[in-house]
Amino acid sequence: MDLPTAKWNLPKALNEDGTIDETKMPKNSEYSKMVILGNKILNETSKYVGPQVKDPKKRFAGNNLSCSSCHANGGSVQNQSGFVGIWARFPQYNARGDKVITLADRINGCFERSMNGKRMPSDAPEMKAMLTYMQWLSQGVPVGAKIEGQGLKKIDFISRAADPKKGKAIYMDKCAVCHQENGLGLKNEDSAGAYYLYPPLWGNDSYNTGAGMYRLIKAASYIKENMPQ
Q: Specify the domain boundaries for CATH 1.10.760.10 within the chain.
A: 5-147, 164-226
Model pTM? 0.94
pLDDT of residue 202: 96
Residues 42, 110: Cα–Cα separation, whole Å: 12
Q: Are 44 and 194 in contact (CB under 8 A)?
A: yes
Q: Classify residue 167 by burial, with Cβ atoms within 10 Å: 0-12, 13-18, 19+.
A: exposed
Per-residue pLDDT at 1? 67
User: What is the homologous superfamily of the domain 5-147 according to CATH?
Assistant: Cytochrome c-like domain (1.10.760.10)
Question: Given this model, what pLDDT does residue 158 score?
Answer: 86
- Run means of pLDDT, 10 residues per run, the chain, 229 residues: 88 97 97 99 98 97 97 95 96 94 98 98 98 98 91 89 94 97 96 93 96 92 88
Give the type of residue at 176. A
First to last CA, the chain: 38
- CATH number of this structure's domain 164-226, picked from the four choices 1.10.760.10, 3.40.50.620, 3.40.50.1820, 3.30.750.24: 1.10.760.10
